Amino acid sequence: MGLLKMTEIDKSEIQESDARRQGLVRLLKDPDEEVRQMAASALERLDGMTNLPTIFERYKKGDKATRLRAIYALGKLGNEECLPVLIHALENDNEEDVRAAAIRVLADLKAPHSLPALIMRLNDPSLTIQTMITQALGNFRHKNLPHHLLPLLKRENKYLVIAALESLGKINAKEALDEIIKLLDHSSPEVRRRRPRSWVKSKRNPFFPPPFYKALKMIIIVTRRSWLNSAETPLTASG
């Protein structure tokens, strides 16, 4: 009888642990970065993922949820020894959620060695992954980045275009100005409303002289006025 009771207690504890784990796994997809980090830390403690060999092993043998936890655990360790697994996940994992997690972690780490792998995955079959990588590239600094981001301004998906705009602004890509001006006539209002904020905020940026900012602001002002005028429908008297 005592053995039976102990078995029932163990079963209850396992069920509670599984419930906590499932709840935390759901939080790994939360849009808030702090929530994701909190969930990852809690899962690390729950699963004992606190050292590199253990995390590697869990990633190699784990299901989707375990691989997700491993990716965020690697991000918490944050050293270059983690990069091979993160890059492997980005390039080879069949689950979009796992590839997305790897992108988030690589974007946070900003390790130059990961840049070629991120650029190569701009042709990922998933448009979501392409957009996330485009956003992530804005965290890096390399002279060739505009070369990879500028073609994305001509893509049809507005979210990909917006991500490219934001990243070009973050890296202060002055060679993108001509293409930015062309987007003022873009069919999507969301794209037209966007502009690289970092280009307009500071007139002291060493990459661009004040006339650049003055011209860009004037373009934005004139374009906004034309949008407002086109949106107004004159009232006419009936009869």
* C-beta atoms surrounding 96 within 10 Å: 14
Average pLDDT over residues 5-25: 58
The pLDDT score that the predictor gives to residue 91 is: 95
Residue 209: pLDDT over 50: no
Assigned fold of 20-140: Leucine-rich Repeat Variant (1.25.10)
Q: Tokens at residue 210, please?
A: 């004040």
Banded pLDDT at 46 (limits 50, 70, 90): low
- What value does the mean pLDDT take over residues 57-64? 90
Structural domain spans, the chain: 20-140, 151-229
Residue 93: band (very low, low, confident or very high) from pLDDT cuts 50, 70, 90: very high
pLDDT at residue 140 greater than cutoff 50: yes
Dump pLDDT digits (tens) for 156-193.
898 999 999 889 988 888 888 888 777 777 777 777 77
